[in-house]
Amino acid sequence: MKYIKEHGYLYITTKRFIISLFLIVFFVSSIPSAIKSGSFFYFIGCMLFIVIFCILLCIPEYLYSKKSSEELWKNWNECHSSQKQKERIKKALVTNELIPIKINTTARCGKFASQTSKTRYRTTLRSCTCPDFKKQKLPCKHMYYLANQCNLRISNTGSITSLSASLNDNNAFQEPAQYMPFNDNMNYMLFDGEGIYRPTNRKRKIHIESFSEQEAIEELVSTGYIQDTITIHRVPFEPPTEAQLSTMREHHNQIPNKISKADMSFLISKYMEDERNADKKLINFATAQKVKFSYYIGEKSLYSCMWYKFTLEEKFAFYLLCVEKDIKGKWNFEKFEHYKTLSSNYLNDDKFMNSFKRYSANGNVFYGFIKDNNIEYGYSASRDTNCYKLAVSIIS
């Protein structure tokens, strides 16, 4: 059993294993009746057939375990250079779209969460259970992520090499250089430096969070620093704590290679709360509103971060966006500013505010109207409220 856990055979072939086990149990349970009926030799023949059948089921996985990663992947060598495959590689290695549940580099297999549902995809270097692979029969983003974790690198010419061989390959697919040294997945950056603070005319050390260097400088100037004296440089976030790493290991969760302490907080929360992946469009909108978070954030946590950052007028506008999405099935973020202009007409309305304060009062959070296959999530907001009904009338 220890050997199986280490090499992942049960992980790869759970269905095959269950079928084989069922057949064996069935025939073993038939031994007494077979002996009584005098058909014992017939039974032995059937048993041999089942044993051979089970062995044949396991042979592909045994051969898989004996091949090197390069051998397993070489069947795909001719397809990596197409534009569609390059997009899949980018999704796997650069855009941080994937959050693996488990990766077993020894068995060359992995488990990923769907972006849109609670479905889990099982992945090896030769196949994946995701819809993309089933349809295209070509490596999907999950397979490329797994290949990367197995120290394989895909070059633009379509070949794949070991990590050590690709370090000097100028054509190798790599992350943007500006992200490589910092090992984080945050949507904002940290800067250190120094500058002269105008009110005291003295030099001060600077530590600031911002979405870009230019925004950081503008914020420092607005708080009293003399622009020509400001020098800042980007610095990395703190690494994960040992307590965070221990928590991840205890729950048998895969620990990403590049992750900061802040990233890990969001990731642990996502696992513990069993949150869905956050909507990509909502992530982009939140970033545009200068909400700070990790790309490992779960859906519930993203709503929470946005809600605590927003002013009352912004909460009103965002609530209307969520009601509109609930009704029409898609986001319309272009209306956010328009809905903000309407806020003054309703935030002084007692009927609306008496209902809306369940979300807007201090310490309260709004998590949107969340459905998955028409099943309400436990943290989904109620539709049976005066503020929801009024929001519907405003939208319509």
- Do strands 375-376 and 100-104 pair parallel, antiparallel, or not at all (unpaired)? unpaired
My answer on whether 332 and 275 are in the same domain is yes
Distant-in-sequence, close-in-space partners of 293: CB < 8 Å, separation ≥ 6: 186, 187, 266, 286, 301, 302, 305
In a domain, 142, yes or no: yes
Q: What is the pLDDT of residue 180?
A: 42
Owner of token pair 């089933």? 134
My answer on whether 293 and 391 are in the same domain is yes
Q: What is the per-residue pLDDT across 162-192, written as a single tens digit (0 to 9) for each?
A: 333 333 333 333 333 344 457 788 999 999 9
Confidence tier at 24 by pLDDT (50, 70, 90):
low
Instruction: Give residue 149's domain range.
Output: 70-166
> Cα(389)–Cα(378) distance, rounded to whole angstroms?
21
Q: Do the Cβ atoms of 80 and 153 come closer than 8 Å?
A: no
pTM of the model: 0.55
In a domain, 334, yes or no: yes
My answer on whether 375 and 316 are in the same domain is yes
In a domain, 373, yes or no: yes
Q: What is the pLDDT of residue 316?
A: 94
In a domain, 126, yes or no: yes
> Cα(383)–Cα(87) distance, rounded to whole angstroms?
39
- Provide the token pair at 150: 């197995």
My answer on whether 23 and 116 are in the same domain is no
Q: Do the Cβ atoms of 213 and 227 come closer than 8 Å?
A: no
- Quick one: average pLDDT of 92-108? 74
Give the chain's domain count.
Answer: 4
In a domain, 41, yes or no: yes
pLDDT at 317 over 90: yes
My answer on whether 337 and 377 are in the same domain is yes
Q: What is the pLDDT of residue 3?
A: 34
My answer on whether 267 and 227 are in the same domain is no
Q: What is the pLDDT of residue 133?
A: 93
Confidence tier at 377 by pLDDT (50, 70, 90):
low
My answer on whether 154 and 36 are in the same domain is no
Q: What is the pLDDT of residue 83?
A: 79
Burial class (CB in 10 A: 0-12, 13-18, 19+), 299: buried
Residue bearing the bigger pLDDT, 182 or 393: 393
> Cα(211)–Cα(283) distance, rounded to whole angstroms?
14
- Quick one: average pLDDT of 47-62? 68
Q: Do the Cβ atoms of 101 and 120 come closer than 8 Å?
A: yes
Confidence tier at 204 by pLDDT (50, 70, 90):
very high
> Cα(230)–Cα(207) distance, rounded to whole angstroms?
12
In a domain, 268, yes or no: yes
pLDDT at 104 over 90: no
Residue 144 corresponds to which amino acid?
A: Y
> Cα(293)–Cα(188) distance, rounded to whole angstroms?
8
pLDDT at 37 over 70: no
